[in-house]
Structure formats: C-alpha cells, structure tokens
C-alpha cells in the first residue's frame, strides 16, 4: 500500500523534467532557425521542430499523469476507463509519426555549432 500518495505521485519526476529541459536546451542550440527557410506542407522547419519536440513531452506527461493517478487514486478506472486511456494514448502516439514532417522540411541541412 502506498502510504504517502501525493509524495509517490511526484517521486523522481524532477529527474524527468530536468532531463527534458537539458535535452531540449541542447537540441535548440544545435538548430539554426535564422538561416533555415525550408517549408513542408506550408509549415516551416521551425514549427515542425517545435511540434516534434513537444510531442514526446505531451506523451510523457500524459502517461505519467495517468499511471501515477491510477496507482494512487484509481482516477482512470473511475473516469475514462482503460478504453478511454488507450484511445488517447494511441492518438498521442500517432502524433509522434507527424515528426517525420521535420525530416522533409529540414532535408539536406546540417548545422554544426561552433562548440562541436
């Protein structure tokens, strides 16, 4: 039995958030938006990049909220149920495939920062 549910809900999440911040910062340093005017399906490479970066964040946040709230308070079972969870999970998972648009929008470019 989980004694302190709220503490368990947030346990080790600072490591996930910190890791995401570091990885996103490094990724943003490696991208040169100022000299990149590529477009795919009318969407700029910058917007494809931001969408590609936000999708895993959304996915991780959704899974964390659902799993931890289910373990602590049975929130998913009492609200949307397993089928609802799976439906939303697959929608968020499919959004990850749209990140391939970044590959087309940024094809042929490679930015190497001065520190590499």
pLDDT by 10s per residue, the chain, length 116:
677 888 888 888 889 888 888 988 888 888 777 777 788 888 887 888 888 888 888 888 888 898 888 888 899 999 998 999 999 989 988 888 888 877 777 766 666 666 55
pTM: 0.72
The sign of the torsion formed by the CA atoms of 40, 42, 45, 50 equals negative
Q: Which two tokens stand for residue 102?
A: 């970044």
- Quick: pLDDT tens for 23-53: 888 888 887 777 777 888 888 878 888 888 8
The strand pairing partners of 44, in sequence order, are 39
Rounded to the nearest integer, the mean pLDDT of the chain is: 83
The residues, any chain, with a CB within 8 Å of residue 54's CB and separated by 6 or more, are none
For the chain, domain boundaries: 5-105
């Amino acid at each position: 039995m989980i004694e302190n549910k709220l503490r368990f809900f947030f346990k080790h999440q600072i490591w996930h958030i910190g890791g995401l911040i570091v990885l996103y910062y490094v990724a943003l340093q490696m991208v040169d938006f100022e000299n990149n005017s590529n477009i795919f399906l009318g969407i700029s490479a910058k917007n494809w990049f931001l969408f590609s970066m936000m999708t895993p964040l959304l996915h991780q946040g959704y899974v964390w909220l659902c799993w931890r709230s289910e373990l602590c308070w049975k929130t998913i079972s009492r609200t949307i149920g397993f089928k609802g969870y799976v439906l939303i999970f697959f929608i968020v998972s499919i959004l990850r495939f749209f990140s391939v648009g970044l590959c087309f929008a940024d094809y042929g470019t490679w930015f190497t920062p001065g520190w590499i």
